[in-house]
Chain A
């Protein structure tokens, strides 16, 4: 019996058990959301929607950073590209959400691909800083291209999502939940497959993966594009469910927030993305009175996670373990042609 790809040596997780767990989780989600609807709190409903949006963001970032090992510090900017795309298409051209959301994803993917092409051959930290630069450039553009984006004033009165007369908070929640599940399924299929193995090979040793016949450049581009697409869709959801967006929501701090979610939750793990997103979305909201402490808390949590919880809570790889492995490697590898 051959092993299913992506199982990381955990002998206790046979196929059927995991499927049952997932089904249970989905059912739990439905119950939770139904409960929130019954509770009739617009505030809690909005938190739920925002959390689900961040789950999408976290899962998409985990695809490239956790699984493929490409540390991206600009993911928040692609979230913003999608949000602005959806906002502009709906306010200026009157497009309905079922057109703006795919368009937002496509545009974000396109921007991602364009900026990624030259960046692909950079190694880890230089790639990271390049994404930082790209993210900041996108932010500066959003802020200053006032003719199109209305700059710091943002775009208001973004129409909500509506189809066949269905609209409103409950509908928003349903759509967001559905898209979140689709995104999670997508990321799951990609990571738990041989394609996922080739992504992991990128993370572990991309030069070696190259020697094994894997088109490293194309793979990086594909995964980066897909992650940006998902981020763009999340952005569109954000635009339609909150009704107002401004550049401030899509800065470097946002990228770091998403990154922290997956570092805390666990790199390379979908459950980790969910846990991290929930933790870092829900808790700060519930402690709203201490709202200004939110970013400090993020910083502290990030720091402590890296130091003490290197695998995150349920992650696949840990930063410290990676260091230990590197110890065995040839110290001369740095000087070779690789």
Chain B
């Protein structure tokens, strides 16, 4: 008898109401280690709210989010991050007045405290942070821009910077919030390859996206949200032909 490990992320009938509006309605889903799952849905479907529920920004009205078996309900965002959940932002929130290197290091700093600061030159913690920051910068191809002010980066490079920053925390689950937004086809293909490489290295990825091409290309599984409810949860090919999914997208003008 083999024991199956608990899913990495598990949503159990998670619900979030804002006054009279139910943004997320009793959504249940699971993501196992090593999966690359896509989360799609028309505008207003509740993707952002679901995202905020997972990362601890918004508390659920009912239901539960669990990570590695531990419930995330009631945890502050930084506690969720320290458990191993990292994220990027759709509207790119880098730290403009800091260098690229310093930006990435923030992802790794966590609870680096006063004593580390005062005695940093000899601190192991400081060396760790330096090492992982350098490693992640190299991984996203920004190593030669390490000393550049983040504000001076182009759009595409900023995206990679955010990913490097998220990776610096050595997360177990990486949630990417519309990483393909604003990228052209060539860039999107490069991004897809990059995400696949991450998964090949063992990282679990949840991809929130509008770009169907990217989602269908890299995800092994797709979850579809509409009006706060989950209406599909299957492999890309099945989801693409699901009448409920097509119905939800009709009339929204979404690509």
Contact = CB atoms under 8 A, between A and B. Distances in A.
Are any A and B Cβ atoms less than 8 Å apart in their complex? yes
Given A9-B149, A211-B77, A211-B87, A316 B97 contact: yes
Contact of B97 (A321, A328, A338): A321
B55 A211 contact: yes
A222 B114 contact: yes
Contacts of B96: 204, 321-322, 325
Nearest to B89: A208
A212 B48 contact: no
A217 B165 CA distance: 21
A336 interface: yes
Nearest to A330: B91
A189 interface: yes
A92 interface: no
Contacts of A336: 48, 52
B99 interface: yes
Interface stretch (B31-39, B115-123, B236-244): B115-123
Contacts, number: 140
Interface stretch (B61-69, B126-134, B225-233, B247-255): B126-134
Interface in A45-60: none
Interface in A313-334: 316-317, 321-322, 325, 328-330, 333
Interface string B95-123: 11111011001110111111011101000
B91 A197 contact: no
A198 interface: yes
Give chain B's interface residue range (CB within 8 Å of chain A): 35 or more
Contacts of A317: 97
Contact of B113 (A11, A195, A200, A322): A195
Interface string B163-178: 0011001000000000
A214 B146 contact: no
Interface in B80-94: 81-82, 86-87, 89-93
A42 interface: no
B187 interface: no
B91 A329 contact: yes
A5 interface: yes
Contact of B107 (A2, A213, A325): A213
22 contacts: A3-B102, A5-B102, A7-B99, A9-B147, A189-B120, A193-B118, A194-B105, A195-B113, A196-B117, A197-B102, A197-B106, A198-B112, A200-B97, A211-B78, A213-B78, A213-B81, A213-B109, A214-B106, A316-B97, A317-B97, A321-B96, A329-B93
A-B residue pairs, 9 tightest by C-beta? A195-B117, A213-B81, A204-B95, A330-B91, A193-B117, A208-B93, A9-B149, A3-B101, A2-B130
Interface of A: 2-3, 5-9, 11, 186, 189-190, 193-198, 200-201, 203-205, 207-216, 222, 316-317, 321-322, 325, 328-330, 333, 336-338
Interface of B: 48, 52, 55, 57-58, 76-78, 81-82, 86-87, 89-93, 95-99, 101-102, 105-107, 109-114, 116-118, 120, 125-126, 129-131, 133-134, 146-149, 151, 165-166, 169
